[in-house]
Amino acid sequence: MRPCVVVVAGTHSGVGKTSITCGLMVALRLVIVASLRREAPLVGDAARTRAPVPDGLCTAVSRQSGLTVQAFKVGPDFLDPMHHKAATGRPSINLDGWMLSKHQVLDTFHRHMADADIAVVEGVMGLFDSRDGNSEDGSTAQIAKWLGAPLLLVIDCWAMARSVAALVKGYTSFDQHLNVAGLLLNKVGGAAHGVWLREALGAAGQTATVLGCIPKDDAVAVSERYLGLTMPHEQQQQQQQRDKSMPPYLAKLSQLVVDHVDLEQLL
């Protein structure tokens, strides 16, 4: 069976990429999946001749347990993968287009997908941010194209309404070789705010599907510091919990995803 893979990208750092990625990983790992999935997109070199990406990511299957989720992180980051491991129960693997060749990235990806159902790849910084201002080397966009994977674009909508349409138009048209398959609107202020955002996207003719409007919830924010995010055990200590099997912040993040993201449409 072809690997199922989705890349979670952000418009820039700080939009909630890691929080949503971890919530999605836990949700896919724990939520029962029943005959939701369709044909997967081809991965790697085969993607050059692939048919248009279908509505879903995976081949049809019926099962009475959650999925085995393999986490990946674009770039050499070591903090985000700690959260990934806490969410999936498996080590998260780095995919770095600057230090590794395309062949090495694809080989690494396929080796670690051998016993997994789905890959969730968290991007680095903003979707197009790379090692310099001229190339895509080391960027999330580069890895997504190498994998032939659909993108979920995370947008911080806290202080935004109609402007979301202009932002999405720019990100979806900047590189025509990318497949921005879905939008995750994060830090939405309420039901009315979500309606305005959807209306703005529809009025502007944006075709990327809104897969979820996730409300702002400071209780589940993963703290940051000068080196990046705090580590999972530190996050747990901050919440004055000692449950080593599933830190409470991950359980809360997964519940947010289950409540506000259309997982059936995603898959």
What pLDDT does residue 47 have? 42
pLDDT above 90: residue 61: no
CA dist 255 → 37, 127, 149, 182, 261 (Å)? 21, 26, 25, 20, 10
* Calpha distance 64→53 (Å, rounded): 27
What pLDDT does residue 50 have? 34
Task: Please list the residues that pair with 152 across neighbouring strands.
Answer: 8, 182
pLDDT above 90: residue 232: no
Burial of 53 (0-12, 13-18, 19+ CB in 10 A): middle
In three-state secondary structure terms, 138 is: coil
* Calpha distance 218→240 (Å, rounded): 16
pTM for the model: 0.83
Q: How many CB atoms lie within 10 A of CB 239?
A: 14
pLDDT above 50: residue 134: yes
What pLDDT does residue 247 have? 84
Q: Could you read off the pLDDT of 157-192 as tens digits, one per residue?
A: 999 999 999 999 999 999 999 999 999 999 999 999
For range 248-259, the mean pLDDT = 92
Q: Which of 113, 125, 158, 140 is nearest to 5 (CA)?
A: 113
